[in-house]
Chain A
Amino acid sequence: MTRRIHILPDHVANQIAAGEVVERPASAVKELVENSLDARAGLIEIDLQSGGKTQLRVADDGHGMVRDDALLAIDRHATSKIKDDKDLRKIRSLGFRGEALPAIAAVSRFELETAPAEGGEGTRIKIEGGRVVAVDEIARRPGTTVTVRSLFFNVPARAKFLRSSAAETRAASEATIQLALANLSTAFRLKSNERELLDLPRSAELAARVGSIWGDELAATLIPIDYASDGIRVAGLIQRPADTRPGSRRVYLFVNGRPFVDRFVVRAAEEGYRTTVPHGYKPALFLYLEVPLEEVDVNVHPTKAEVRFRNKIKTEATVTEAVRSGLEGLESAPSLGRHEASFQLVSRGPATGAPRPRPESGAASQIALFVPGDAPPGLPVEGEDTEVAAPMARPGAMWQLHDSYILAETRSGLIIVDQHSAHERVLFERIMQDYDEGGTASQRLLFPLTIRLSPTEAQAVEELQGILKQIGFELEGFGSNTVIIHAVPNPHPHFDAERCFREMVAELAHGSPLVDSARNQHERVAKSFACKAAIKAGQPLSGLEMAELFDRLFASELPGHDVHGRPTILRLSLDELERRFGRT
């Protein structure tokens, strides 16, 4: 009786494995570039012909291999990167399965040239469809060059599913970009049919790399974040809320230097943007997570696009907090003229140390922004790049423009504050806090207001009566669509309770983009109230009132953004002024 079960010959097993690892030229490019990065390459050149379908080549100037290592490398599960299963739990290098080279070699006409950095002879190995056809001694410079021709020549089923050359080129380019974003100290060059698609010099800063990939316009809309809590660090670049647009945007996630996709992490980041961008607007995100190696499992998917966090909830919460902390600063407000986005990419490795101390809200965080005209000596002065609010020691350095905007001198230039938007942010956060504390104080009226409503409005008021009371409106009587207001909130001296109530009720009853983006009824009412109760444009303010608005704005969590997703602050730097006046 013939045995039914037998072990597959290696080259067949490799072909099957290859199907998992190498789906298309782009995945081969990814695997090969990762190998080059693990070989500490300073420059990686990628060359595609017909999107990599006819030929793709990845050349690096990394540490290369000696002959025996090179031969071992093309054996399945041969790797220099892990030794046993304990290492698997602490993966630091990009490739680790030891399946990439054999897999690619199994489905192509494969040529590997390598020479070790220490010097010595070079090696060339030729493989066709998994079978080694030649091993030669050659002379070449240190580093490794892998050339892959006729990918899938022996797997016609797979070859049939390859897309157009343009589509494959795009995919390969995308794979390269992803790796380039994670490896700033390596230069990348990508050519397709002799045309240069990417030329990315080594960069000290992520913003510079983003700029060389997509142009400085995108880079200028990004602000750096760097936040650590409980062993998890989240750094990178996020888009200024005012620069976000609806529709597609660029999102790149990395964990310990490894690209990954995770819609929950993206959602967590977007949660950090809540109330700062209009409904449906999506920010560009470049997030670099550093978590202790044992806290993340990268061995989930053969192409390693997905990872698994041991503490998913904590990781996502840290991402939200990191984004939020980035939006707290003045940096996140739009500026006139050029932005100087700057960000030092964090080195690869596990997160260490204590969380970055967050400035306390209130007085402590209000020191450095304004020119410390008569600040007492000995106060700590924060760095130029971490502008935070200051007490209004100098009301003289503040002006109201057209009764609508407040201009204030800052350490590095000036800021223009939209008084209505600013007050909106202050009121919104105040109300959200008041909900937690059982409601706001409400001023009883000597002359109660009687207000007639439409039936729809009356119904909305009846439904929301409890929340309206929490924000300070005490109402009575719903007979014939009429309400009597006995007590009202009193958020500022120019507050017009009746007008605010009417406008708010109309908005709540009939809906608006602002209130429809709210998460629940409480937030709905808070947003509407903040918008209708805030100091209006055209309201003259005294120096003291301006100072108070400033203090409260900068004591709020997200001073740079109102509740509609508009900026509250515009910055104009001295650098920009100097540039405009031709002083530089």
Chain B
Amino acid sequence: MKVTVTRENFQRGLSAVAATIPTRTTLPVLSNILVETLEDGLRVRGTDLDISVSVQTAAAVERQGAITVPAKKVADIARELPDAPVQFESEGGRAVLVCGNSRFRLNTLPSEEYPSFPDVPFEEGWKLRGGELQTLSAHTSFAVSGEETRPVLNGVLWQVRGEEMRMVATNGHRLAKMGLQLGVGAGEEDLIVPPKALQQVERLFDAGDELEIGRSESHLGFRTARTEVYTRLIEGPYPNYEQVLPKSHDKECVADRGELTAAIKRMAIIASDQTHRVRLSFGPEKLALAVQTPDLGEAEDEIPIAYEGGPIEIGFNAQYLLEVLRYVGTDEVKVSLSAPERPATFEPVGGDQDYVCLVMPLRLME
């Protein structure tokens, strides 16, 4: 193969792909990227076998072909090259890269060894704006579990229900759920997607891009004309989250999100490193916050709230509260409660987002 490409396009293509390259791998070819010529351009591919990314860029093709090169080295080179056209060619099993007066000859691995990309039937899929996908994923991905024994909880549940679309994530202690109404129908799907893949999607597509989305038995694909992202899907039944969403509550509080966040942050300083437990006492007009950590000391705080319902005292992991408050985007937040051992829900006030976060309480000691 032999192509000429602008330095800018070359670098952009490489950096898009480089993020998927595993740092440590038992399969040497995975630390390489695959560079292939197209009719009138270049395609760069990288994969860690779970997530695969492919990016096309314009290039002048002199000789067709494909080659694999060490991803990290080539990305580093591209960054340091002078602003001049880059000539890239394969020559007797090596890759030769010329830009201005700089010449590099790199060892390669045979392109046939590079893993093939998943075959996803996009024509049976649906379409979605990049921005919509980002909104869903950004509000839910944070809540996935980091613990590896229940793999389904490591993923984000993506439910497609005709014109409605929903993402849910939970680690069993807290849960985030966001819904979105689409203008168009999109069939019916339940997918469990690794959050890392959603991050790649957020990173590689613009809000205005119209994405084609398709799935195969085990994979999910996202693509625009130039960029493709594929991910392995997590298998297994997702826990029945709808069953744990509270159907009713008898206590409701509206608080200033900034004030509440600041007060919890202050309490979190004294809260135990291990449980991060903070005690909230809701009452008419005010919310009292308190922490006690035996080795360290105590702290109390108070903020004004609008409150309806009987007084209640309930404990939470401060870290979970802060996370949830970060993603509820409105100035005010609505907190609904029923009992000290039942979940609390957090929802935005105003705005039109269909968003709810659930936090399970910590048992309080007397």
Contacts and interface: CB of A to CB of B under 8 A. Distances in A.
A85 interface: no
A492 B365 CA distance: 20
Contact of B239 (A441, A447, A491, A499): A447
A147 interface: no
A115 to B, nearest CB: 66
B366 interface: yes
Interface in A413-434: 430, 433
B361 interface: yes
B362 A442 contact: yes
Contact of A442 (B239, B358, B363): B363
B151 to A, nearest CB: 12
B326 interface: no
Contacts of A361: 295
A440 interface: yes
A472 B173 CA distance: 14
Contacts of A447: 172, 239, 244
B147 A444 contact: no
Given A361-B295, A447-B239, A474-B363, A441 B277 contact: yes
B80 interface: no
Contact of B274 (A438, A446, A486, A491): A491
Given A441-B315, A490-B275, A498 B149 contact: yes
A430 B361 CA distance: 21
B341 interface: yes
A499 B343 contact: no
Interface in A332-370: 361-362
A430 B274 contact: yes
B244 A446 contact: yes
A463 interface: no
A53 interface: no
B351 interface: no
A45 B120 CA distance: 94
Contacts of B317: 443, 490
B170 interface: yes
Nearest to B362: A441
A309 interface: no
A134 interface: no
B201 interface: no
A472 B361 CA distance: 13
Contact of B149 (A439, A441, A499): A499
Interface string A534-557: 000000000000001000100100
A423 B172 CA distance: 23
Interface string B253-273: 000000000000000000011
A575 B240 CA distance: 60
A552 B275 CA distance: 14
A327 interface: no
A362 B295 contact: yes
A443 B277 CA distance: 10
Contacts of B363: 441-442, 444, 472, 474, 487
B360 A446 contact: yes
A496 B362 contact: no
Given A493-B146, A495-B147, A446 B170 contact: yes
Interface in B163-208: 170, 172-175
A496 B170 contact: no
A300 interface: no
Interface string A478-505: 0000000011001111111011000000
Interface string B289-317: 00000111000000000000000000101
Contacts of B362: 441-444
Contact of A494 (B147, B170, B361): B147
7 contacts: A361-B295, A441-B365, A442-B363, A446-B173, A446-B174, A496-B149, A555-B295
Interface of B: 146-149, 170, 172-175, 239, 241, 244, 272-275, 277, 294-296, 315, 317, 341, 343, 358, 360-366
10 nearest CB pairs, A to B: A441-B275, A444-B360, A442-B363, A441-B277, A441-B362, A496-B149, A438-B365, A446-B244, A447-B239, A443-B173
